[in-house]
Structure 1
Amino acid sequence: MTFSRNLRFVCRIVSVLAFVSLLGPRIAFAAEDAPARCQGADMLTEMQSKAPDIYKQVMAESDALPNTQAMLWKIEKTGVPSSYLFGTMHLSDPRVATLSPTVKADIAQSKSVALEVADLSDTAVAAAMAKMASLIVYTNGESLKKALTDQEYKDVQQTVAKAGMPGELAATMKPWLVSMLLATSDCERKQLAAGKTVLDLQVAAEAQKHGIAITGLETIEDQLSALASVPNDQQIAMLKVGLKYLDRADDMTETLVQMYVKRQIGAAMPFQLALAAQSGISPSVFDGFKKSLLVDRNARMRDAALPLLDKGDAFIAVGALHLPGPTGLVALLRQSGYTVTPVE
Structure 2
Amino acid sequence: MHVRPIFTAALRLLVAATLAMPALAQAPQAAPQPAAPAAAAQTMPPAWVIRDADTEITLFATIHALPDNQRWLSPQVTQRFDTTDTLVLETMVPEDRFELAPLIQQLGIDAALPPLAARLSPASATAVARAAQEAGIPLVALDRMQPWLAALTLSEASLTRLGISAANGVEVALLARARTIKRDIVTLETPAQQIGFFAGLPQADQIAMLEATVADTVNARADVDRLVALWRAGDVDAIAREFAREARASPRLYEVLLAGRNRRWSEWLAGQMGRPGRQFVAVGAGHFGGPDGLLALLKARGYTAERLAPPRPAARRRR
TM-score with structure 2 setting the length:
0.73
CA displacement at 1:237 relative to structure 2: 2.8
Q: Please, which of 119, 127, 146 is the counterpart of residue 118 of structure 2?
A: 146
Contact 2:60–2:282 (CA under 8 A) maintained in structure 1: yes
Query: In structure 2, how many angstroms separate the alpha carbons of the residues matched to 1:202 and 1:18?
Result: 16
The within-5 A match list for 1:107-126 is: 107-121=81-95, 123=96, 125-126=97-98
CA displacement at 1:164 relative to structure 2: 5.9
Match in the other structure for 1:312 = 277
Match in the other structure for 1:290 = 254
RMSD: 3.2
Contact 1:17–1:184 (CA under 8 A) maintained in structure 2: no
Contact 1:96–1:260 (CA under 8 A) maintained in structure 2: no
Q: Please, which of 178, 203, 211 is the counterpart of residue 232 of structure 1?
A: 203
Task: Mark the CA change 1:216 to 1:163 in structure 2 (over 3 Å): closer, same or farther.
Answer: farther
CA displacement at 1:294 relative to structure 2: 0.7
CA displacement at 1:334 relative to structure 2: 3.0
The answer to whether 1:261 aligns with 2:257 is no
Q: Please, which of 35, 56, 74 is the counterpart of residue 82 of structure 1?
A: 56
Q: Please, which of 152, 168, 176 is the counterpart of residue 180 of structure 1?
A: 152
Task: Mark the CA change 1:143 to 1:128 in structure 2 (over 3 Å): closer, same or farther.
Answer: same
CA displacement at 1:103 relative to structure 2: 1.2
Q: Please, which of 48, 52, 71 is the counterpart of residue 46 of structure 2?
A: 71
Q: Which ranges in structure 2 are unaligned for 5 or more consecutive residues?
A: 1-11, 25-43, 310-319
Task: Mark the CA change 1:272 to 1:76 in structure 2 (over 3 Å): closer, same or farther.
Answer: closer
Q: Please, which of 9, 17, 20 is the counterpart of residue 16 of structure 2?
A: 20
Query: In structure 1, how many angstroms separate the alpha carbons of the residues matched to 2:249 and 2:201?
Result: 10
The answer to whether 1:335 aligns with 2:300 is yes
For the residue of structure 2 that corresponds to 1:252, the secondary structure is: helix
Task: Mark the CA change 1:144 to 1:106 in structure 2 (over 3 Å): closer, same or farther.
Answer: same
Match in the other structure for 2:99 = 127
The answer to whether 1:299 aligns with 2:263 is yes
Number of matched pairs = 276
The share of aligned pairs that are identical, in percent, is: 24
Contact 1:23–1:120 (CA under 8 A) maintained in structure 2: no
Contact 1:163–1:181 (CA under 8 A) maintained in structure 2: no
Contact 2:127–2:215 (CA under 8 A) maintained in structure 1: no
Query: In structure 2, how many angstroms separate the alpha carbons of the residues matched to 1:153 and 1:321?
Result: 29
TM-score with structure 1 setting the length:
0.69
For the residue of structure 1 that corresponds to 2:239, the secondary structure is: helix
Task: Mark the CA change 1:139 to 1:80 in structure 2 (over 3 Å): closer, same or farther.
Answer: farther
Contact 1:114–1:215 (CA under 8 A) maintained in structure 2: yes
Q: Which ranges in structure 1 are unaligned for 5 or more consecutive residues?
A: 1-15, 27-68, 277-282
Query: In structure 2, how many angstroms separate the alpha carbons of the residues matched to 1:185 and 1:128?
Result: 19
Task: Mark the CA change 1:332 to 1:271 in structure 2 (over 3 Å): closer, same or farther.
Answer: closer
Contact 1:74–1:341 (CA under 8 A) maintained in structure 2: yes
